[in-house]
Every structure is written in C-alpha cells, then in structure tokens.
Amino acid sequence: MTAGKPQLRSLPIVLFLTLVAVLPAGAAKKQSKKPEPPPVTLQLTTGSPEARKLVEKALAIYLDQVEQTQAIEMLHKAVSLDPAFAMAHELLAQISLDSAEQIAEQAKAYNYREDVSAPEREVIEWYQDAYDHKLLSAITRMNDLLSQLPHDKTVVWMTTWWLTTQQQYDRSIAIYERSGINDSPGLLNNLAYNYAYVHRFDNAFETMDKYIAALPKDPNPQDSYAEILRMAGRYDASIEHYHASLAIDPEFYSSQFGIADTYALKGEEARARREFEAGFRRFTVPEQQRVLWRTREAATFVREGDFDWADRAFQAIADDAHAHHISLAEADTYRQMAMYQEDASHALQLLSKAEAAAAAGENTNHTAIQQVTAQILRARVEVAIKMENTNVAQSSLDALTKMSEDAGDAVIDLAYNGALGAFLVSQQKFAEAMPHLEEDPNNPLSLKLLAIAYGKTGDAAAADRAVDLLSNLNDPTLEQALIVPAFRQCAHDPACGGSVKNASIKAPHTL
C-alpha cells in the first residue's frame, strides 16, 4: 500500500509526542509492581563450568589486554571441553585469524543456537544475517541486543566493532560513549580509530593517551597511536611513537614497517626503502604481509616518479610470487604495475598477465580469485578510459557487472561501483556517477572523481568536503601515491592543468 493522494486536512498539534519522546521508556511503569531485573550482562550457556571460565578469561584477555592469539587458544580449549558451547563458537568465529575456521565456527554457533539464552541467540542470528547479506535484519537484531544489554562490555565490543566494519563510525562512537565503559583498553583502541576515521583527531589522541596509560608496557598502544598520528598527517610524531613501540618490544615488527610507510608518505623515499630493508633483514614476516610491504617499498619509486625502478621492483615481487605459487599476489602485482604505466597498451598487456596469474589460482580459493579478477577488470576499465577506448571499457564493465550480480560480494561490488562511476564521469554523466562513487570512497581515484562530480552538479559543500578528505588522505598505498600528492599540488593551484599525471583517468577537473 502506498500513501494516499494529497488531502488538505488539518491536524491537531501533537505536542505531547515531544514529551513522550523525552520520557524514559520505563517511566509509565513506575507505579506497577517492581519487575524482576533483567540480566545486565551477557549470560553464557554451557554445561561445562570450566569452559565458561575459559571463555570469560578469553574475553578479558582479548578486551583488556588486546591479546588475540591467547584468547583464541582459550576459546579452542573451551569448545573442546563443550563442543555444543554456541557462544564460544561464535566468539571464535569473530576473532579467529583463520578464515576457514571463521566460517566453520559460525556454522557451529548457528547449529547450537536453539539451546542458548535469548541474547546469545540474538548475537548468533545477527552475525548469521550479516553473513547472509540480510543487513536490515542484522541491524535490527544488533540494536535489540544492545537495548537489552547496553552496558555489557562484550556486547558493546561486538556492536561497536561491527559498526566500524560497516563504516558507521559515528554510531559506533555514540554506542561506546553511552555505554559508560571506560576501563577496556581493547575498546579504547577501537574507539580511537573510529574518532580518527571521522577526523576527530583531538578525541582520538585523548583516547590514545588513555590506552597507553592502561597498557604502558604493551607496544600496540604506541603502534596504534603512531598510525593515527600518521592518518592526521603528523609524520614526525608518528615515527616517534613507532620507535617507542619498538623500544617496548623490539620484535613488534609492524612498527618497523610503520616507520617505513610513514617516511614514504612524508616524501623521504630513500629513507623509507632503507627502513623497509631493515625490517626484512631483521624480522621473519608472514608471507602475505611480506608481499604487502614489498609492494609498499616498490611504490616508493612510483612516488619518486621513477617508473623504471618501480617496474623492476614490482616485477621482482611478481616473479617471487610466481616461484612460490602465490597466484593472487602475482596477479595483483601485475595489476598495480598496470596502474602507473604511461603507455596504455603496455598496461593492458600487464593486465593480461594479471588475469592469467589469477586464473592459475594456486594456493587460493574461488572467492579470492573472483575478487582479484574484479579488481583487474576495474583496472581495465580505467585504462580503457585513459585510452578513450569506449568499447574495451564497456565490455570490461559488462563483465564486471555480471560478476557483481552473480557473486553478491562486497569487494566485487566496490570494484563494480568504482569502475562504473569512473566510466560515467568519463561520459560526463556526473549525477549518475555519484551514487556509484559514493559506494567506493576508500579509493582515492573514486574520491577524486566524486569531488569532481559534486562540483559539476553544483554541490559545492560536498565537493569541498571531498577535496579536503582527499588532500588529507595519508594512506600508504599505491592508489594514494598515484592520486593524492599530485592532487594536493593541483587542488589549490589555478595554474595547474588539472590532469593528474598517471591517474589513469581523464575527467574534467574543476577543482
């Protein structure tokens, strides 16, 4: 049923509604018999007292000491003591570092959900709905759980963190602030990042000070503080905190690479490479992270505009990945090489290599192959736009559209929206492009095009906001290297030609 046709009919003033709204929900029940107070914490259902203790301890270690690995070990013990402990399975699904285990544990939690308390069941069904892409139901369940247990540390952690992953930073902050919880280092860490994501850096720093005070002998607070300072563009202070982290724990290798990343953003590329090399010499780094940081090191050449050396560095990574049968790392390395090529034909050749590597699919799974393939198709669209080859752009976009429709995968959807938004901008269809680009705001290229589209459609305030965000984007990725430094130079320079070198896109630049 839809709303009826307009009818002119006066309404009584409903002032009482405003009063109702500000009354506590329970005010009307004041005269009634005192009800049984509901539990104020999440009750864990298990037949094993020992397993319950382990889960409680795992949560304490995870939230109060930010020790994920130890917490996971305890949860493993708990589910071995009580294989039907639904909430232990759910927590394992949430914090495990093994993707296959996450999926398996979620399935177990869901299977055992019938015999648990209502709040526990709400938790499990909320996450299951999220997993099944039933987001409206997931949101409803989450809020219903929160309304029952708004001050429970575990519930507040689960809700604020999930909202962070959904990029709902303001709501995540609001829930934390209303919870009254101020003694959980884990929550402080998360809260500080949320403040930083919405550019409330003063709040973020204040929160970080509390986090450091809570865990003065732990390197992670210093490392987190350093990362947030870097996000704020305070590079020197960031490096100081990374060094403080290493002083506490010389084996905390992410801080060493954090220093390298920060020098890269600061524009000291040779120093950044020395720091990366020092890190690789000193630490044995998990292979995925090693690839990540080698890629960042290669990107320092792109930042310098030295594309020959960039090619050598990226090619070495691709060869290494090929030799170790890490197909997707090889594929993505070729994709990144394509992104900075000035010769579009060569870029397309590199993308063909990327597709071949992805298709080889060694040591990976179908979902990951699909996701990388989507990124490659997106790059094809961008290169084709640069070449002004509408046919290639359209055919790549068609393939990406089909993937997006078939897969229902967030990563693929981002690639699709970014590519379509870029294509529409290249066609001067700014208003049509905006909703797609808004879906992909992590990507500096999409953010830049969004600023252009806002400007072209007359929304100057939104354009200014996007320009400001892009100019202050301090993320050590190749995408940032390609877009942001040149954008900063151009944004406030009327003499600038407007085209950002190697930005892989041609669009009218009005900024």
Partner 1 sequence: MLKFTNAFALKARVVTGLLFLVSAPCLIHAKQLAIVSDKANAATNLKAADLASIFNARMRTWQDGKPITLVMRDPGSDDVQLILHRILNITSDQARALIQAHPGVVVVVDTDDAVQHVVSNTRGAIGIIDLYSLTNNVNVLKIDGKLPLEPGYILKGN
Site residues for partner 1, 24-63, by CB under 8 A, read 25
Measured over the CA atoms of residue 206, residue 209, residue 214 and residue 218, the dihedral's sign is positive
When asked if residue 9 is in the footprint of partner 1 (CB under 8 A), the reply is yes
What tokens does 24 get? 């506590």
Residues 202-241 that bind partner 1 (CB under 8 A): 220, 223-224, 227, 231
Which position among 43, 117, 148, 166 is part of the footprint of partner 1 (CB under 8 A)? 166
CB burial readout 40-70, b (16+ within 10 A) else e: eebebbbebeebbebbebbbbbbbbbbbeee
Single residue of 186, 279, 418, 455 touching partner 1 by CB under 8 A = 186
Of 123, 473, 483, 503, the one binding partner 1 (CB under 8 A) is 473
Tokens describing residue 511: 């900024």
How many angstroms separate the CA atoms of 332 and 321, rounded?
10
Asked if residue 469 binds partner 1 (CB under 8 A), the reply is yes
Footprint on residues 252-281 left by partner 1 (CB under 8 A): 254
Regarding 283 and contact with partner 1 (CB under 8 A), the answer is: no
In the set 45, 46, 48, 96, which binds partner 1 (CB under 8 A)? 96
Among 46, 238, 373, 443, binds partner 1 (CB under 8 A): 443
Query: Considering only 80-88, 90-98, 267-275, 337-345, which stretch makes contact with partner 1 by CB under 8 A?
Result: 90-98
**Position among 107, 237, 462, 496 found at the interface with partner 1 (CB under 8 A):** 462
CA–CA distance from 369 to each of 64, 315, 329, 354, 359 (Å)? Answer: 37, 20, 11, 11, 7
Distance CA 17, CA 1 (A): 26
Quote the CA–CA distance of 208 and 241 in Å, as a whole number: 11
How far are the Cα atoms of 333, 358, 422 from residue 352, in angstroms, in the given order?
A: 12, 10, 21
Place of tokens 């597709």: 355
Return d(Cα 380, Cα 396) in angstroms, integer: 7
Output the smallest distance, CB 47 to partner 1, in A.
Answer: 25
Among residues 9 and 33, whose Cβ is nearest to partner 1? 9
Q: In angstroms, what is the minimal distance from the CB of 210 to partner 1?
A: 16
Q: How far apart are CA 320 and CA 31, in angstroms?
A: 74
Please state the closest distance from residue 415 (CB atom) to partner 1, in A: 9
Q: Is 10 in the site for partner 1 (CB under 8 A)?
A: yes
Q: How many residues bind partner 1 (CB under 8 A)?
A: 104
Interaction between residue 409 and partner 1 (CB under 8 A): yes
